[in-house]
């Protein structure tokens, strides 16, 4: 299926490369192939363009250009940040994170806990996906090396109060990392005025291509590189730079900064129209995540008694691309670890669909989904194995760390 006839509502999984981004990056695949570390003008010119890209990204984040390290993806940024904090503070053996993080943080924490003997606290969330600030405060210990809490959740769009969290960690002298892969470009930020110490972002969630990301590291923060080798990225991340990707990320950051204020209104209005129509048009449907403390582009809706995968399949036949929770949990019968942490009842959690919009989503896209989803749900409910009216087996509210991927 081509991009022309797909209604793409899976932007939290990945986004279309913006036309201006593609245009900016193309020459770096062909004639502008110089190595920015070379002494000659041909390579040096590429280095200059990279500096401009770094400036655009720093402008979007509200930080200094010397505080940005380009990486290969959001996952690398997350891994680097957490490992750096642990390596730089070897006497500290405790990590604080949440039960609803992306696997890039969660699986690493589980690994560090099981194989390296670190203590990890996994903070819970309430029924609307929000953190308990008191629980966070109580979890902080003398030997807490790092607090790693996402800025916005990829499955529900729920936004955590990172600035407030940063005040708390800073006053205790504890490093704070935030996975802001879903927040960058959607939430205005000025990192120089917050206590955030490290922040991860990813190009392909921001209308740049796959294979490029960045890590913000506050100036003077103790830092230990993950990749060791050459002097690239001020000695903080070795390896010849992905010049094409970095130029693209710079262009994407520039576009995000320009679009952000308007998108906050236009994308939110489209999302709300979609969400309100589906919740009103389908009986026994519910919104997952706090109604207001949420990204403007994300809507996670549960349709009781049916499998999310079945809905996805029928949506796919109609050319609608959405997601049933995170990619790591779909394909298995485990309900999403995020919805489980929120205590969403089993018969709802299985039938959850995430619609995630972008600046390219149109009114016609939303109309098409509104026109088709209620009928799909009705069809599937007729063949659902669940008996309506039977009591819900509650999702297991176990305290073991979630997500098996
Ligand atoms: C997509 C995503 C990541 C991983 O980013 P990649 O660039 O795909 O490695 C990490 N965290 C969140 C919240 C994400 O949505």
Asked whether residue 282 is assigned to any structural domain, the reply reads yes
Asked if residue 274 and residue 150 are part of one domain, the reply reads no
Kindly tell me if the per-residue pLDDT of 360 is higher than 90: yes
Question: How far is 15 from 35, CA to CA, in rounded Å?
Answer: 28
Ligand 1 centre and the CA of 201: distance in Å?
8
How sure is the predictor about 2, in pLDDT bands with cuts at 50, 70 and 90? confident
Asked whether residue 313 is assigned to any structural domain, the reply reads yes
Active site residues: 328
**The last residue of a domain, from among 202, 221, 256:** 256
Interval 219-248: pLDDT, tens:
999 999 999 999 999 999 999 999 999 999
Q: Decide: 235 and 164 in contact? Cβ < 8 Å.
A: no
Asked if residue 289 and residue 363 are part of one domain, the reply reads yes
Kindly tell me if the per-residue pLDDT of 264 is higher than 70: yes
Q: What is the average pLDDT score of the chain?
A: 93
Tokens of 371: 């026109």
Averaged over 246-255, what is the pLDDT?
A: 98
- For residue 199, the number of C-alpha atoms closer than 13 Å in the C-beta half-sphere is 30
Ligand 1 centre and the CA of 104: distance in Å?
7
Asked if residue 308 and residue 197 are part of one domain, the reply reads no
What sign does the dihedral 51-56-57-59 (CA atoms) show? positive
Asked if residue 265 and residue 243 are part of one domain, the reply reads no
Asked if residue 369 and residue 221 are part of one domain, the reply reads no
Asked if residue 190 and residue 280 are part of one domain, the reply reads no
- pLDDT for 389 equals 52
Averaged over 365-392, what is the pLDDT?
A: 83
- pLDDT for 404 equals 37
Asked whether residue 266 is assigned to any structural domain, the reply reads yes
* Range list of H helices, 26-131: 41-61, 74-88, 103-116
Asked whether residue 124 is assigned to any structural domain, the reply reads yes
- For residue 109, the number of C-alpha atoms closer than 13 Å in the C-beta half-sphere is 29
Question: How far is 38 from 229, CA to CA, in rounded Å?
Answer: 16
Of 147-151, 287-291, 308-312, 327-331, which gets the smallest average pLDDT?
327-331
- pLDDT for 127 equals 98
CATH number at 372 reads 3.90.1150.10
Going by CA atoms, what residue is nearest to atom 14 of ligand 1? 181
How sure is the predictor about 265, in pLDDT bands with cuts at 50, 70 and 90? very high
Question: How far is 47 from 68, CA to CA, in rounded Å?
Answer: 15
- pLDDT for 327 equals 42
Kindly tell me if the per-residue pLDDT of 328 is higher than 50: no
Give the mutation target among 179, 180, 185, 328 for probing the ligand 1 site: most ligand atoms within 8 A of CB: 179
- pLDDT for 388 equals 57
What's the pTM? 0.94
Asked whether residue 401 is assigned to any structural domain, the reply reads no
Ligand 1 centre and the CA of 116: distance in Å?
24
Tokens of 97: 């994170």
How sure is the predictor about 334, in pLDDT bands with cuts at 50, 70 and 90? confident
- 235-241: long-range contacts (C-beta < 8 A, 24 or more apart)? 236/69, 237/69, 237/70, 237/71, 237/80, 240/35, 240/37, 241/36, 241/50, 241/70
Q: Which atom of ligand 1 is nearest to the CA of 205?
A: 1
Residues within 6 Å of ligand 1 by CB: 73-75, 102, 104, 150, 154, 179, 181-182, 202, 204-205, 213
Going by CA atoms, what residue is nearest to atom 10 of ligand 1? 74
Averaged over 33-61, what is the pLDDT?
A: 96
Going by CA atoms, what residue is nearest to atom 3 of ligand 1? 74
- pLDDT for 384 equals 74
Averaged over 395-401, what is the pLDDT?
A: 39
Residue 92 dihedral angles phi and psi, to the nearest 5°: -100, 130
Ligand 1 centre and the CA of 11: distance in Å?
12
Asked whether residue 348 is assigned to any structural domain, the reply reads yes
How sure is the predictor about 331, in pLDDT bands with cuts at 50, 70 and 90? low
Asked if residue 287 and residue 240 are part of one domain, the reply reads no
Asked whether residue 85 is assigned to any structural domain, the reply reads yes
Averaged over 176-205, what is the pLDDT?
A: 98
Averaged over 311-331, what is the pLDDT?
A: 80
Residue appearing with tokens 């990392």? 177
Distances in Å between the alpha carbon of 222 and those of 63, 97, 173, 303? 17, 20, 12, 47
Q: Which atom of ligand 1 is nearest to the CA of 210?
A: 7
- pLDDT for 35 equals 95
Q: What is the domain extent for residue 164?
A: 19-256
Asked if residue 194 and residue 82 are part of one domain, the reply reads yes
The total domain count for the chain is 2
Q: Which atom of ligand 1 is nearest to the CA of 326?
A: 15
Asked if residue 202 and residue 76 are part of one domain, the reply reads yes
Task: Give the angle subtended at the CA of 388 by the CAs of 383 and 390, to the nearest 5°.
Answer: 130
- pLDDT for 333 equals 65
- pLDDT for 4 equals 75
Residue 331 dihedral angles phi and psi, to the nearest 5°: 95, -20
Find the helix or strand (DSSP H, E) in which 238 lies.
none
**The last residue of a domain, from among 236, 256, 276:** 256
- pLDDT for 390 equals 52
Interval 67-106: pLDDT, tens:
999 999 999 999 999 999 999 999 999 999 999 999 999 9
Going by C-beta distance under 8 Å and a sequence separation of 6 or more, which residues neighbour residue 99? 106, 122, 123, 124, 125, 337, 338, 341, 401, 402
Asked if residue 331 and residue 250 are part of one domain, the reply reads no
Q: 107: phi > 0 → left, psi -120 to 50 → alpha, else beta; which?
A: alpha
**The last residue of a domain, from among 240, 256, 272:** 256
Name the β-bridge partners of 7: 320
Kindly tell me if the per-residue pLDDT of 398 is higher than 70: no
Asked if residue 96 and residue 79 are part of one domain, the reply reads yes
Asked whether residue 312 is assigned to any structural domain, the reply reads yes
Ligand 1 centre and the CA of 133: distance in Å?
25
Asked if residue 186 and residue 316 are part of one domain, the reply reads no
CATH number at 235 reads 3.40.640.10
What sign does the dihedral 30-32-36-38 (CA atoms) show? positive
């Amino acid at each position: 299926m081509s991009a022309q006839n797909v209604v793409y509502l899976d932007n939290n999984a990945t986004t279309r490369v913006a036309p201006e981004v593609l245009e900016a990056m193309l020459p770096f695949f062909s004639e502008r192939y110089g190595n920015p570390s070379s002494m000659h003008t041909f390579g040096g010119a590429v280095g200059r363009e990279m500096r401009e890209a770094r400036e655009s990204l720093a402008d979007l984040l509200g930080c200094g250009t010397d505080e940005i390290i380009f990486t290969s993806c959001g996952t690398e940024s997350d891994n680097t940040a957490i490992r750096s904090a642990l390596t730089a503070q070897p006497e500290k053996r405790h990590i604080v994170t949440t039960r609803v993080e992306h696997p890039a943080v969660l699986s690493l924490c589980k690994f560090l806990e099981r194989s390296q003997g670190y203590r990890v606290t996994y903070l819970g969330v309430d029924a609307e996906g929000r953190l308990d600030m008191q629980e966070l405060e109580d979890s902080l210990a003398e030997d807490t090396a790092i607090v790693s809490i996402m800025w916005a959740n990829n499955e529900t769009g729920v936004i955590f109060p990172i600035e407030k969290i940063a005040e708390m960690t800073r006053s205790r002298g504890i490093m704070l990392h935030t996975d802001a892969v879903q927040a960058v470009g959607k939430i205005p930020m000025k990192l120089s005025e917050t206590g955030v110490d490290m922040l991860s972002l990813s190009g392909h969630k921001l209308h740049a291509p796959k294979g490029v990301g960045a890590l913000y590291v506050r100036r003077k923060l103790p830092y230990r590189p993950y990749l060791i080798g050459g002097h690239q990225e001020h000695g903080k991340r070795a390896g010849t730079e992905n010049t094409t990707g970095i130029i693209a990320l710079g262009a994407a950051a520039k576009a995000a900064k320009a679009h952000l204020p308007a998108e906050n209104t236009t994308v939110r209005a489209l999302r709300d129209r979609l969400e309100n129509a589906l919740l009103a048009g389908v009986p026994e449907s519910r919104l997952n995540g706090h109604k207001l403390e949420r990204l403007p582009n994300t809507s996670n809706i549960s349709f009781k008694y049916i499998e999310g995968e079945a809905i996805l399949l029928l949506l796919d036949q109609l050319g609608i691309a959405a997601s049933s929770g995170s990619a790591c949990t779909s394909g298995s019968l485990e309900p999403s670890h995020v919805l489980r942490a929120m205590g969403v009842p089993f018969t709802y959690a299985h039938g959850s669909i995430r619609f995630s919009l972008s600046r390219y989503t149109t009114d016609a896209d939303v109309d098409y989904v509104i026109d088709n989803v209620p009928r799909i749900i009705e069809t599937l409910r007729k063949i659902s194995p669940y008996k309506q009216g039977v009591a819900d087996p509650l999702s297991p509210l176990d305290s073991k760390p979630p997500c098996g991927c």
